[in-house]
Structure 1
């Protein structure tokens, strides 16, 4: 069965859905035939989560025990919408989109901190892509699949005119003196035309009421960009596309945003080796 033939459903998250999530009747009927009270979700964090199924007084089926921890670990907020694709054997693949319609991107390192006490709900780490048939078989039989050796990460090179940020001493010294955050360029930064800014960074540096920022590139050229504030994060919008185009940003490049003065973010760019 191809991916387009598999049952799917979409849910827009209301505030009450952060605790437990109702499942469409047609999907619930598929699950009931499995005679299993637990579903397994393959999440954007690259993990399997076990979520209990529960029927309420009106005979509606919900994701219940384990869903709240799943919501918190993925930083769900009201207005997000989720796409579930049923893979069979009580397993769903989940994709998450924010209020703008763009797919949410997750940092694996941060995800470990978001998992709270839910480690018992996680079966195992897996690769970024779709699991193959062996993965689903291992899941259904309870066998754990040994991971393959991880290839060494590509080294980053610093072209002329760009500041290197890979030396720990330099990075640590800068972190003590200049507020900053780092981002790896992803495809959605081009397709959706924005760069996300951590909510905590804005809050701790008095940026939550600002509506405009200035980006300064390594050559000290400036771009005025709109700063939009949402429920879960803030974003650099209009002006970001021009900045990324002129500086020839590509997927995998690393940008360090330094708040050098009120309203000015200096951007240090570290190119990824081709």
Structure 2
């Protein structure tokens, strides 16, 4: 039996890798650690083999079927997913130690499966923002807003409860999620039976992992020069942990940019309010007060 030629092992391994490329079956995984929100470093072996073949922009497709345009760049000699990656992170509510499995499905597309630290696949968000689907690059949060009875607007995060993804034991975070109410009303707010029924239906459809804030429109919300919508201090401290941020409000398939800003009146608790852009949103959606 002849002696194998020098380098046959390397060639065989290379041919195997090439065959995988041709079959579009490249797979790799990443555990989200460190500064994962700004960029994701691709494996060196994948980057080396696909050198010159990877497009400058690649589409990430999640379990939901939606795609996100992410820019491919070089950073300190490494190939990274950068611009647009932060939007993918935000849209899926990814957290530290989440486990992502990528399938390289062609020159400009990767399919992504997402698992939580317990090893269970995470439930895809119930809805995505129009900007997220189009891959627009903005530092903004997404909120879904609907007028449940022409006078009631609800605001929620765009993600489902993780506990729905598995039938096994629940984590401490999942228990904590179940201990909070599905929605929150400002003190002193009362709804009619019709409003309560519509609200319950909407809350179940949204499937939010944080409580939905429900606000009954008052005259100050939708009339006058300085129209705004105020969140209660308790809700602001628990779920709106920023000083100022541009949000995207979505209603009936359309989007509005609205500034959310913290305010601390003298002798009162800090609260957040929707201000710049809110007037246009209220007008376009014909919100009414009572």
Q: TM-score range by the shorter chain?
A: 0.3 to 0.5
Q: Give the number of the structure with larger relative contact order, counting CA–CA contacts within 8 Å between residues 6 or more apart.
A: 1
TM value normalised by structure 1: 0.44
| Higher Rg | 2
TM value normalised by structure 2: 0.42
